[in-house]
Amino acid sequence: MKRLIPTLKGDGVSIEFIMLIRTVLAATKEIAFRVSQGELSGILGSTLDENIQGETQKKLDVLSNQLIKDMLLADDQVRAIASEEEDNVVVGTQGAPYIVAFDPLDGSSNIDINGQIGTIFTIYPARDDVPADSPLQFQQPGKNQLCAGYVLYGPATMLVMTTGGPTRCYTLDLTHGGFLLTQEELSVPTDTKEFAINMANSRFWADETTQYVNDLIQGEEGPLGKRYNMRWNAAMVGDIHRVLTRGGIFMYPNDNRDPKKPAKLRLLYEANPMAMLIENAGGKAYANKQRILDIMPDELHQRVPVQMGSANEVETCISYYD
Ligand SMILES: O=P(O)(O)OC[C@H]1O[C@](O)(COP(=O)(O)O)[C@@H](O)[C@@H]1O
Ligand SMILES: [Mg+2]
Ligand SMILES: [Mg+2]
């Protein structure tokens, strides 16, 4: 089986960029080890702190953030980083070519139940027209991403990543400690009979979402003419992994639970990297009527509605938002 570095070299990725990807992955391997040790490595439970988004931080959120941050700041190719768990941009090496954003631990509510969790990351070119510590560094549309990926800490630890070409899947080989290429090119089936949405929010949805989900649930007797099944992992990384593996539509639409927070998922380090992975595997990724990768961010921790996955199903879904 092919190893990571020869695969990336074969894709024409420069050595310096491969080294940066290795830095990110070195941190995720350490997280994977701690996760596999569970309670034995003291990672379960919450801290007494909240992050900038007002969410209680879990011990593993903080630990993962620290591990990734420390390793990236020691890499002289990183000019700035942004993280779900950091209020502001953190400055790295002046003049370095890249900036990195990440969700150090996605699916935090699954940590204590031994459920699926992961790390989501994205790399952009640094901007020379704004200071290194400015949030404007990250004010770039998702289509500027040079690399997007996630590491899923599931029964197997898997890396799903694109550097602009195909979305490839690797599995962490615990016998030698490296990621091996286990699926050369992921391809999201165009059609699906599986949807993912948190139904508990249904009374807070916009009418368009309610209408579409009602039509899904009506199955073969409804206007969509087929019977659907539903899945919800409570970790975007797990839901998107399923969609990349066997198709489906994943939605986290706007709702009016909290008027200050109409959307839940963050554009920079959740929606954008997942949108690039899905599109490069032949799927579609929208925020209602807008292609996610075209959105120009206004702020670092900006939230967006999300509908992504199997191309035909996403098209059907967004037609309800006309
Ligand atoms: O509480 P809900 O509605 O199930 O939310 C689940 C969603 O929240 C998230 O867990 C948010 O990510 P974090 O765990 O990084 O905050 C997504 O991964 C997931 O899709
Ligand atoms: Mg997350
Ligand atoms: Mg997180």
Is the pLDDT at 51 greater than 90? The verdict is no
How many CB atoms lie under 10 A from the CB of residue 161? 26
- Give the model's confidence band at 92: pLDDT under 50 very low, under 70 low, under 90 confident, else very high: very high
Distance 300 CA to ligand 3 centre (A): 14
The confidence score (pLDDT) of residue 160 equals 99
Which ligand lies nearest the alpha carbon of 110?
1
The confidence score (pLDDT) of residue 322 equals 86
Q: Give per-residue pLDDT as tens, 284-315.
A: 999 999 999 999 999 999 999 999 999 999 99
Average pLDDT score, the chain: 96
The confidence score (pLDDT) of residue 47 equals 79
The confidence score (pLDDT) of residue 57 equals 83
DSSP output for 48-73: EEE-TTSPEEEHHHHHHHHHHHHHHH
The confidence score (pLDDT) of residue 289 equals 95
Mean pLDDT of 201-230: 98
Sign of the CA dihedral running 120, 126, 132, 137: negative
- Give the model's confidence band at 127: pLDDT under 50 very low, under 70 low, under 90 confident, else very high: very high
How many CB atoms lie under 10 A from the CB of residue 73? 16
Domains annotated on the chain, with CATH: 4-183 (3.30.540.10), 194-319 (3.40.190.80)
Q: What angle do CA 275, 217, 263 make, to 5 degrees?
A: 40
Q: Which amino acid is at 70?
A: D
Query: Measured from the CA of 120, which atom of ligand 1 is nearest?
Result: 15
Helix spans in 222-295 (H): 236-246, 272-279
- Give the model's confidence band at 253: pLDDT under 50 very low, under 70 low, under 90 confident, else very high: very high
The confidence score (pLDDT) of residue 9 equals 98
* Strands of 163-274, DSSP E: 168-173, 178-183, 194-196, 229-230, 249-252, 265-266
Ligand 1 proximity of 287 Cβ (cutoff 6 Å):
no
Q: What is the reported pTM?
A: 0.97
